[in-house]
Amino acid sequence: MNKFATHRISFLAETALGFVLLTLVLIWRHGMSSELPDTWLMRAGMLRDLAAELPIGRQALVCSPALMPLPGVAALPFLPFLPPASYGYAYLYGLAALLAMAVVPLRSLLRQCGAERLSSAAPLMLALAAATLGATPHSDLLACLAMLILALYFEGRDLAELRALAGVFWGLVLFAHVAGLALVALRMVVAGVCMARESRALGPGRAGATEAQAVRWIQGVSVAYLLVVYLFLSWMIMGAVRYPVEAAARLCKLERTEAPSESLAAALKRLCPDRTPVVSGHWGYLIQPLLQETRGYHFIDFHPAKLPAWDSRPLVLVVPAPGNPLARLCDQQPENPGLRPGRVSYLLLAQTPDWRFYLFEQRQ
């Protein structure tokens, strides 16, 4: 058996063992959680819609930086082996698979940094990260961490072709979590500064680029390509390239972190007892029991034309009020006159400090 085959078998074995370890840690961490985190509920609902081939599943995958595509895509291969009620576990298996791919690269990075003794603990270090973030609203950061390790691993390779490949993983860092946007932007700024210094060092009279400059150009093009793919998907699925940009602006708003003082079910029963709720945005995945009980509707990018023509029940659009932490996950804000003006007319029916209820024309 040649050396390459031996390394390949070793890599596959370590990755498989790492996947088993990380899966067990994530399942244990999930089982220890007192309540299901919002990210788990939204990912599970999104995967159910994707498996059912509903448009809302595809829309939820690309409509907002709050839930970037990579963790959801990594969960798709596990869906055929699970019942719909357990699709949240496919999300955990996807995170475990991404982290397992980083076990061998992390070990190599530790050796390069001179931490030879710590290199053998690479799976345990990733398991610690999984135990820390696994059942929290920030669990998508595990996917971002895995892609970051792979990007740094390829950055340190001797071959220029492998260093250029790091650009693909920098792009996947961007696809994994909204924090990846900042990391990739910082990486591109550093690369630009390095290229400018190298160009000055070459001097105006010397033509040609160094190998390092060529690698950085390829990395930058790879990141730009993946960003264009994300915007293209937004355009194809949502009908507008600006949709994730508008969602990012909502995420940047500072809101309080405590839960609403009055539950939506109580406010709906008190203020609109005879109306069926309609919600729009990722936050609808968090109130699925209420929507199932009332036979309400959940949309991404709601428009009255999306409602079934046969439903004659009185409806009400429910929107988290400004200050409600769920407002970041809502893509409809009728009180904002700059949001798709002229398309739908809304009338404020009732409001509380946490919720707003709007009437709208049900036929367009």
pLDDT of residue 304: 84
Across the range 336-359, mean pLDDT stands at: 74
Please report, rounded to a whole number, the percentage of residues in the chain having pLDDT higher than 70.
Answer: 89
Answer yes or no: is pLDDT of 203 > 80: no
pLDDT of residue 259: 65
pLDDT tens digit sequence for 217-269: 888 888 999 888 988 888 888 887 777 777 777 776 655 556 676 788 888 88
Query: Band of the pLDDT at 1, cuts 50, 70, 90?
Result: low
Cα Dmax for the chain: 79
Answer yes or no: is pLDDT of 45 > 60: yes
pLDDT of residue 256: 56
How many angstroms from the chain centroid is the CA of residue 247?
12
Residues in the chain, total? 364
Query: Band of the pLDDT at 310, cuts 50, 70, 90?
Result: confident
The pTM is what?
A: 0.88
Nearest to 282 by CA among 63, 95, 70, 48: 63
pLDDT of residue 204: 56
Across the range 111-123, mean pLDDT stands at: 83
Minimum mean pLDDT range among 63-67, 171-175, 296-300: 63-67
Contacts of 258 (CB under 8 A, 6+ apart): 325
Contact 140, 177 (CB under 8 A): yes
Distance between CA atoms of residues 344 and 258, nearest Å: 32
pLDDT of residue 364: 47
Query: Band of the pLDDT at 46, cuts 50, 70, 90?
Result: very high
Q: What is the mean pLDDT of the chain?
A: 84
pLDDT tens digit sequence for 80-90: 999 998 999 99
Across the range 301-312, mean pLDDT stands at: 84
pLDDT of residue 91: 94
- Nearest-Å Rg of the Cα atoms of the chain is 24
Nearest to 357 by CA among 321, 311, 310: 321
Contact 167, 221 (CB under 8 A): yes
Q: Kind of pairing, strands 346-351 and 355-360?
A: antiparallel
Identify the residue with better confidence: 206 or 39: 39
pLDDT of residue 205: 47
Contact 303, 238 (CB under 8 A): no
Number of neighbours of residue 79 by Cβ within 10 angstroms? 18
Query: Band of the pLDDT at 2, cuts 50, 70, 90?
Result: low
pLDDT of residue 142: 94
pLDDT of residue 70: 93
Query: Band of the pLDDT at 12, cuts 50, 70, 90?
Result: confident
Percent helix, strand, coil in the chain (nearest 5)?
A: 65, 10, 30
Answer yes or no: is pLDDT of 187 > 70: yes
Contact 126, 134 (CB under 8 A): no
Distance between CA atoms of residues 120 and 108, nearest Å: 10
Identify the residue with better confidence: 161 or 74: 74
Three-state secondary structure call for residue 358: strand
How far is residue 311 from each of residues 56, 95, 199, 348, measured CA to CA in Å? 19, 40, 66, 22
Question: In terms of DSSP H, where are the helices of 134-263?
Answer: 141-155, 160-176, 178-202, 211-238, 243-251
| Cα atoms in the 13 Å half-sphere on the side-chain side of 47 | 30
Identify the residue with better confidence: 92 or 213: 92
Query: Band of the pLDDT at 207, cuts 50, 70, 90?
Result: very low
Provide the token pair at 143: 């996917």
